[in-house]
Amino acid sequence: MRAWQYPGGQQPITMNEVDEPVPGPTQVIIDVKAAGLCHSDILYMEKGDGVMPFLPMTQGHENAGVISAIGSEVECFQIGDVVGVNSGGIQPPLGMFTPGGFADKLAADYRDLARVPDGLDICLAALATDAGMTSYHAIIKEGGARAGMKVGVIGFGGLGQIGARAAVLAGAEVHVAEMKEEVWPLALEAGVAACVKDADEWVAGGGWGDDSGFDLIVDYAGFDTTQKALNAVKRGGTVVQVGLGSPTCTIITPTILGKRIIGSLAGTVADIEEVFDLMHKGEIAPVYEEISFDAIGEGLDRLKANQVIGRLVARFGD
């Protein structure tokens, strides 16, 4: 079968012919129908040597498709079921520590599967398994966005667009900091109250006796933005860090006092299915561009060059 693999040595991803996977006792084999492209794929090509347990590694951790084979201990699923995969649940993270779904077939543990509702486009289902799950878990489950809260979202990309919309649906007043002004109309259409180019433009809150500022800020970028979030969140507020644009950041220690910082990683099958439901109802409609399986390598190059609005999703299979 075909598989896009990272060969090591920070070399570009390449398409190879590999053996088809065989299910373990608790695994299913999925005929992959769609796979999302993510900055984490690029991160592991840049930093994965010495971290990935073997090379070449089939990448792709945002996947949905149809079950075509089942292991002996699999429960509640059967051949023909349409599912998405939580890439970092029971099984080690797909595309990073175990073969992922930039391939015709994928082996996944049945406990990591989310059922795709009838009628939900398979590209949206794939997108929901990481961009949807991760953004939703960060802003709703970790951040607790709800009515009456003033919420800031840093980065309106593949994750931020979903997180911002989820907070709007929860009843929060949502503000976005996003450098690409061309996506501001999309943010406003999603119900965002206002957009700025830089989180530095947000009114600072959190000095002694100061209860202004944001209740919650979720940073989906992670470049020089963590300190900016701390500056703008009010005393008693929360900053949730998701983005890993830079490997390190500098924080002014006094700005932490009286505030919480949470690092949010991935999410759960339940999160994915909640996002599926919102997408199925049309409540969340993220912007994405559909590409072919053959274009995955080129797509990752575009993503690295910051030439993508929203998300790239490869549709492939029979």
The tokens describing 263, both together, are 């690092």
Domains detected in the chain: 2-129+267-315 (3.90.180.10), 144-263 (3.40.50.720)
Question: How far apart are the C-alpha atoms of 78 and 76, rounded to whole Å?
Answer: 7
| pLDDT, position 318 | 54
pLDDT at 205 > cutoff 70: no
What are residue 94's phi and psi, to 5 degrees?
A: -65, 145
**Percent of the chain residues past pLDDT 70, beyond the cut:** 97
| pLDDT, position 48 | 77
Which tens digit of pLDDT belongs to each residue from 142-166? Answer: 999 999 999 999 999 999 999 999 9
| pLDDT, position 45 | 87
Give the single-character DSSP code of 119. T
Which tens digit of pLDDT belongs to each residue from 262-294? Answer: 999 999 999 999 999 999 999 999 999 999 999
pLDDT at 123 > cutoff 90: yes
Under the banding of pLDDT at 50, 70 and 90, the label for residue 85 is: very high
| pLDDT, position 211 | 64
Under the banding of pLDDT at 50, 70 and 90, the label for residue 188 is: very high
**Averaged pLDDT, 164-180:** 98
Q: What is the pTM of this model?
A: 0.95
| pLDDT, position 145 | 98
| pLDDT, position 246 | 83
**Averaged pLDDT, 8-22:** 96
| pLDDT, position 317 | 64
The tokens describing 292, both together, are 């072919």
Average pLDDT, the chain: 94
